[in-house]
Amino acid sequence: MRAVNVLSYSFSAIKLRKFRSALTILGVAIGITAIVALLSVTQGLQATITDDLNQGLSANSLIVMPGSSGQGGDSGFSIGIGSSSDSSGFSLYNNYTSQIVSLSPNITGAVAVMQKFGYVESDSLNRSVTIYGVDYATYAEIYGTFVAESGTIPLNPKNDTVIIGSRVSDPRQNGTRFIVPGDEINLLWLNATSFPTVNENCTVQVSGVLDTVGGFGMGGPSDTGVYIPLSSAESFFGTDACDMIIVTLTNTDKATIDSVSSLIREHFENQVLVISADAVQSVVASIISTIELFLGGIAAISLLVAGVSIMNIMIVSLIERTREIGILKALGMKSRTVLLIFLGEAVIIGLIGSIIGIIGGWVLAHGVSWVLSSGLLTGNSGGFAIKPLLTPTVVFVALIFGIGVTVVFALYPAWSASKLKPVDALRHE
């Protein structure tokens, strides 16, 4: 019997039992939907984070922070906002930038960054922000995203001049601006170095609003940041210790990055962490891959449950079709053909269920993305935008996995059907 005829007979058997087949297909589709949705969202998340990291951490830059290699090594990148020293008491200071620049001709510049969690208060807005103290001119040279969408970024700013991120001006990102250049705002941060703690505050004037960055702002510009001149930050925060120093290099060669990183660590006697863009991205990719594998495994369990259901339904079908099989074998059908008929049904069910599941997973992934970006889960005015990715690899894996599971769980019923003796099958009632 030709393969086309076997598949045709299998498809006819499926159509004959529409409701039962539909439930079986639904079980496969649900499992594949879960797998495709989770993989699409996690891959989209990885792409989004990678893009944002590229915005916030240039490939030719390094981040120098207090901390020994024992705290995370070169690949560690846990940044404690508002903490300018590690557990050993070592601190970085703003004037260390000149020392770093003189270490190697491969270093083109360095800028100190001070940062604290704080709040912005105005007549129309009260929200949490990250307050950064930077040298505007040097910072703008390092980051091309530090540009004003409205207003200006003065190269020699007054002490009471600030630059704000786009989401500070327009929290909902819908064109409704609560703060514009020229407005006066009140900055506050909690000074926990004294007891009792004190809310430090100052009144400043907005000089410019940054264009939308979209990145995480790891060292680089942030949509939720407020930028004050470095000299003002020293006075406002009551210290000249910085949280990090951004170092720019002549190129992105690994040899250059490793050489400069080693020089910086040696200069500070291994009391600093030197973090590169590649190190951050590799760690993030590793974390997301682990999450992806974990979530994919959970989703696969639902497909395995569907596989057990497929086996059960095909065993029931085998019992119902015992006389039919006996007649076919009495007419000369080979055992191998009976086996292929049952496996053909499993392949068709797996294929249809997988296709429906891929489509459903893609729709579900976009639904999850919309919920996350809308901020419904967190109650915020804005969320975290993720664009799901449905790669050919995900489609191929979904098809193979969906069909494979149905075929594996259909093997025993198909084998049992092929081993039925014609006489015994014809006697079956």
pLDDT at res. 357: 92
Return d(Cα 73, Cα 94) in angstroms, integer: 23
Return d(Cα 254, Cα 275) in angstroms, integer: 13
Of 327, 355, 346, 368, nearest in space to 415 by CA: 346
Please calculate the CA angle 224-226-227 and round it to the nearest 5 degrees: 135
Average pLDDT taken over every residue of the chain? 81
Torsion sign across C-alpha atoms 407, 413, 416, 420: negative
CA dist 295 → 37, 41, 97, 292, 394 (Å): 10, 11, 44, 5, 14
pLDDT at res. 71: 43
What is the mean pLDDT for each group of 10 consecutive residues in the chain (429 residues)? 75 80 85 87 79 66 79 44 58 91 92 91 84 91 87 86 90 83 89 76 91 71 90 90 91 88 91 83 77 76 76 75 77 83 86 93 88 60 70 89 86 81 64
pLDDT at res. 76: 44
Of 132, 75, 37, nearest in space to 370 by CA: 37
E strand or H helix that includes residue 94: none
pLDDT at res. 427: 64
Of 348, 371, 367, nearest in space to 359 by CA: 367
Pairing mode of beta strands 126-134, 107-121: antiparallel
Burial code (b: 16+ CB inside 10 Å, e: under 16) for 176-189 equals ebbbebebebebbb
pLDDT at res. 362: 93
pTM for the whole structure: 0.65
Q: Which residue has the tokens 């059908």?
A: 333
pLDDT in tens, 133-184: 999 998 988 888 888 999 999 888 888 899 999 888 888 777 888 888 999 9
Q: What is the DSSP string of 46-67?
A: HHHHHHHHHHHS-TTEEEEEE-
Please calculate the CA angle 225-50-147 and round it to the nearest 5 degrees: 35
CA dist 1 → 147, 338, 423 (Å): 72, 10, 22
CA dist 74 → 50, 86, 427 (Å): 19, 15, 75
Angle between helices 277-320 and 335-374 (to 10 degrees): 140
pLDDT at res. 428: 55
How far from the centroid of its chain's Cα atoms is residue 240's Cα? 35
Q: Where are the alpha helices (DSSP H) in 150-276?
A: 166-169, 230-237, 254-267
CA dist 355 → 7, 27, 29, 395, 418 (Å): 18, 13, 8, 9, 29
Return d(Cα 267, Cα 283) in angstroms, integer: 26
